[in-house]
Amino acid sequence: MPCPFDTKPRWERRKDARPQELLEAAIDLFVERGYAATRLEDVARRAGVSKGTLYLYYENKEELFKAVVRSNIVPVIGEAEASVAEFDGHSADLLRQLIHSWWQRLGATKASGIIKLVMAEADNFPELARFYQEEVITRGTNAMASMLERGIARGEFRKIDVNTMTQVLVAPMLTLIIWKHSVGPCPRAELEPLAFLDTFLDMALHGLLPAAPPV
């Protein structure tokens, strides 16, 4: 009969799980402490491995942070790109899908803390800012712009300045992230995220949809 108590160290028992355990520990600490204050030895300790083991997978803190972003945020951007390319309905419904999916897959998850971290610390870490710009911001805004261009081409949205409207659509999403990680935890703050996004969508779509033809 096998012993009910496995006394082997965690890093010996689950070698295949090491990278994922490290990423989970890293996102916890990056969100709790920020980038500058997170130390690799603390990530290793949280994951239950030695610091030397961590270095087998990630060369330094910058590479670990990039891996966290690529694991938690970049796939969601890819899903948005695929939605824009494959969606077969009205562009207003596509916009709703993009916004709601963003909240469900990023805003409502631990990954939202990484978005807040980048906004707060990008100026101090230009290399990370460039990385995030290339792999997240540029791709995300391009997907939103493609959605708007699709709607205009199909006559479902009126002609607008796509670049400016893209920023207008993104800004409330970032505001919601800031609220969640600053004002949101305060007892007096009352804001239901999906209601906020639906109200924003209602306002945005009334500005985007073409005027009804005269009767």
Taking only the tens place, the pLDDT of each residue in 23-54 is 999 999 999 999 999 999 999 999 999 999 99
Q: What CATH number does the domain containing 25 carry?
A: 1.10.10.60
Residue 1 belongs to a domain: no
Identify whether residues 53 and 74 lie together within a single domain: no
Compute the distance between CA of residue 12 and CA of residue 43 in angstroms, rounded to an integer: 17
Domain extent, residue 35, equals: 14-59
Identify whether residues 79 and 172 lie together within a single domain: yes
Q: What CATH number does the domain containing 183 carry?
A: 1.10.357.10
Compute the distance between CA of residue 21 and CA of residue 26 in angstroms, rounded to an integer: 8
What is the structure's pLDDT at 121? 95
Identify whether residues 79 and 161 lie together within a single domain: yes
Identify whether residues 180 and 113 lie together within a single domain: yes
What is the structure's pLDDT at 5? 45
Residue with tokens 């990530």: 43
Closest alpha carbon to 200 in 164, 178, 163, 174: 174
Read off the pTM: 0.85
What is the structure's pLDDT at 15? 58
Identify whether residues 134 and 185 lie together within a single domain: yes
**Domain total of the chain:** 2
Identify whether residues 97 and 150 lie together within a single domain: yes
Identify whether residues 79 and 127 lie together within a single domain: yes
What is the structure's pLDDT at 7? 44
Residue 185 belongs to a domain: yes
Identify whether residues 31 and 76 lie together within a single domain: no
Furthest CA-CA distance within the chain: 82
Identify whether residues 74 and 44 lie together within a single domain: no
Identify whether residues 97 and 128 lie together within a single domain: yes
Closest alpha carbon to 130 in 36, 65, 58: 65
Q: Are 74 and 136 in contact (CB under 8 A)?
A: yes
Residue 212 belongs to a domain: no
* pLDDT by residue, tens only, the chain of 215 residues: 445 544 444 445 455 558 999 999 999 999 999 999 999 999 999 999 999 999 999 999 999 999 999 999 999 999 999 999 999 999 999 999 999 999 999 999 999 999 999 999 999 999 999 999 999 999 999 999 999 999 999 999 999 999 999 999 999 999 999 988 886 555 545 778 899 999 999 999 998 888 777 76
Percentage of residues of the chain with pLDDT beyond 70: 87
Compute the distance between CA of residue 210 and CA of residue 157 in angstroms, rounded to an integer: 6
